[in-house]
Amino acid sequence: MMWLSSGFLFRSGKSFYHRIDPRVKLLCSILMFVCAIIARFVYEIAIVVAFVLGVAAAAKALRRVGRTVAFTSLFSVLIFGLNFFVTRDLESSVLYAARFVGIVVSTSLFFVTTSPDELEQVMKTFRLPRDIVFAFVTAVRFVPVLMLDAMQIMDAQKSRGLEMQKGNVLRRIRSMVPVLVPLVVTSVVRSGELAEAMESRAYGAVPRPTSLVQYRARAADKVVAVAALLLFALTAYSFYVVLPPLGL
Amino acid sequence: MPAMLEVEGLSFRYPESRRKAVSDFGLRVEEGEIVVLAGPSGCGKSTLLRAVNGLVPHMYSGDYSGDVRVAGRSVKATDMRELAQTVGFLFQNPENQIFMFSVERDVAFGLENLGVPRPEMRARVDEALRLLGVEPLAQRAPHELSDGQKQRVALAGVIAMRPKLVILDEPTSLLDPKTASELVGLVARLRKELGTTFLIVEHRLDLLVGVADRMVVMSEGRKVLDGTPADVLLGEEAEGYGVAVPSITRLQKALAREGLVSGSRVMTSAELAAAVEGPGGI
């Protein structure tokens, strides 16, 4: 489970791409995302995906983005299968599945190269309500804590004879119940304590809280943003005007 | 001048409970005092602490009577945001009071909420990090810290708000003995450097005998003992209320009964050893 979910979890890195302003990284990911949407042919999407993976490789995040693709491959197959079942059109079914992969890689690239701190900054830039930003922050903050809780509960239940690795899928899912119930209970208790601590530290005292750190876009960030926009324009132009319509 | 904390005839009953959690409780704490609150689990200590920082009655409603005043202001009539700047609260589990991804940002959390301007916030955060000795951890993530470090970071976040009164709810229960005594040393230092008043709930009284000015014992929601550590620990009643009288103090009492030591203060092991070694001793 941890292996699968790690595709969307940040790990600090020192590459050039990691150090770009988070807002610019978001712009890059959105542009790649849009490219995958507007591409009309599978080979065009393949170009986009190859480009994203190239950036991921430069950011030393290729494996983690790859993991996300592996994690979501079931959905890709499902999208292809359902489309093919309904339309009986191989071409469009592959296109939709490929588009999904394109969306996944471009989104994943943003998440694996952006720290939660930076994400919070991006959310603040968009003037999202403080409560929503804070809910996001605590959710991410407590992921490792909850995972530790879950492992402790698993150990405790295993030591009392719970067998989690045996039986068919149904039985294994059912054996998760004695783990999930205490996990939910401890999380509820924890959230109560969090609420007390928030109140005690003046949460919500003023409508516009200040911030200890401030991110400023550097010249290099602006260059990247402009380059990304130019590249996007060029790509869109190529997709619709230059590149030949090529089916499968 | 009003006392730092005045509790008068406080009673509180949670809506779902038939019994009062705190019953006709009175307490006066002067500025700069370190007061230890002891008593068995479920005796109402936690409720009392929450009544001091305003969680009772602002977050937990129930039958509330009596009055609690902090630095002369009624807790009931003051909202949480203002109370948060006067009363700091360190909870038992440090994990659940660290919100942000880095230590320094978490220490700044309360100040951000209060809208403190950035340059002043920077200075106050740095000061709190220095006072608690956690400057080298400033950029760490919470999950990279030990329990003792987490407790210090959480306390730094409380101290950065410059409260006059700090409440510690069983601060050492998750710490090993060495880290626990370091935390107690820290409390003594903060009192000395900042003049902070402390109200501490703690079971491990041996740790606090040296720094506490007063000990208050609660039982079934009421105050049953209140005095200096010597009054409480050398008296006959404390153990009856389930207070863990330190074993060295029990030895001191036993020796005093035999007439081998005298004196009206709680002795450390070294003092006790010196006393029995002298003329007339063993």
User: pLDDT tens, A84-131?
Assistant: 999 989 989 999 999 999 999 999 999 888 888 888 888 888 888 889
Q: What are phi and psi of A231, to 5 degrees?
A: -60, -35
What gap in Å lies between CA B94 and CA B97, rounded to an integer?
Answer: 5
* pLDDT at position A9: 54
Asked if pLDDT for residue A8 goes beyond 80, the answer is no
Q: What is the pLDDT of residues B57-72, one digit of tens each?
A: 999 999 999 999 999 9
Q: What is the pLDDT of residues A188-205, one digit of tens each?
A: 999 999 999 999 999 999
Which residues make Cβ contacts (< 8 Å) with residue B199, sequence separation at least 6? B5, B29, B35, B37, B49, B52, B165, B166, B167, B168
Q: Which one of A8-12, A165-169, A226-230, B98-102 scores highest in mean pLDDT? A: A226-230
In A, which residues are within 8 Å of B117 by CB distance? 210
A60 contacts A103 by C-beta, under 8 angstroms: no
* pLDDT at position A2: 47
The ranges assigned to domains in chain A are 2-117+216-242, 142-200
User: Average pLDDT in the A50-59 region?
Assistant: 93
Q: Which of A137, A112, A136 has the alpha carbon at shortest distance from A22?
A: A112
Cβ count within 10 A of residue B213: 16
Which among A138, A194, A200 has the least Cβ separation from residue B89? A200
In the CATH hierarchy, which fold is given to the domain comprising B5-238? Rossmann fold (3.40.50)
Structural tokens at position A104: 């996944």
Q: Report the percent of chain B where pLDDT is more than 90.
A: 78
Going by the DSSP 8-state scheme, the letter that residue B43 receives in this structure is: S
Substitution target from B113, B140, B158 for chain A, most A beta carbons within 10 A: B113
Q: Which of B185-194, B217-226, B261-270 has the lowest mean pLDDT?
A: B261-270
Which residues make Cβ contacts (< 8 Å) with residue A100, sequence separation at least 6? A72, A75, A76, A79
* pLDDT at position A7: 45
What gap in Å lies between CA B168 and CA B212, rounded to an integer?
Answer: 13
Higher model confidence: residue A61 or residue B120?
A: B120
Burial class of residue A183 in the structure, from the number of CB atoms within 10 Å of its CB (0-12 exposed, 13-18 middle, 19+ buried): middle
Instruction: Please answer yes or no on whether A212 and B93 come within 8 Å at the CB atom.
Output: no
User: 0.80 exceeded by the pTM?
Assistant: yes
In A, which residues are within 8 Å of B108 by CB distance? 212
Nearest CA in chain B to A192: B96
Instruction: Please answer yes or no on whether B97 and A194 come within 8 Å at the CB atom.
Output: yes
Q: Which one of A57-61, A113-117, A241-245 scores highest in mean pLDDT? A: A57-61
* pLDDT at position A222: 93
Which residues make Cβ contacts (< 8 Å) with residue B116, sequence separation at least 6? A210, B124
Asked if pLDDT for residue B265 goes beyond 50, the answer is yes
Q: What is the pLDDT of residues B106-151, one digit of tens each?
A: 999 999 999 999 999 999 999 999 999 999 999 998 888 999 999 9
Cis amide leading into B57 (omega within 30):
yes
* pLDDT at position A5: 47
* pLDDT at position A127: 87
Q: Report the percent of chain A where pLDDT is more than 90.
A: 47
Average pLDDT, chain B: 92
Average pLDDT, chain A: 87
User: Average pLDDT in the B196-202 region?
Assistant: 96
User: Average pLDDT in the A31-57 region?
Assistant: 92
Structural tokens at position A45: 């999407």
A89 touches chain B (CB under 8 A): no
The ranges assigned to domains in chain B are 5-238, 246-282
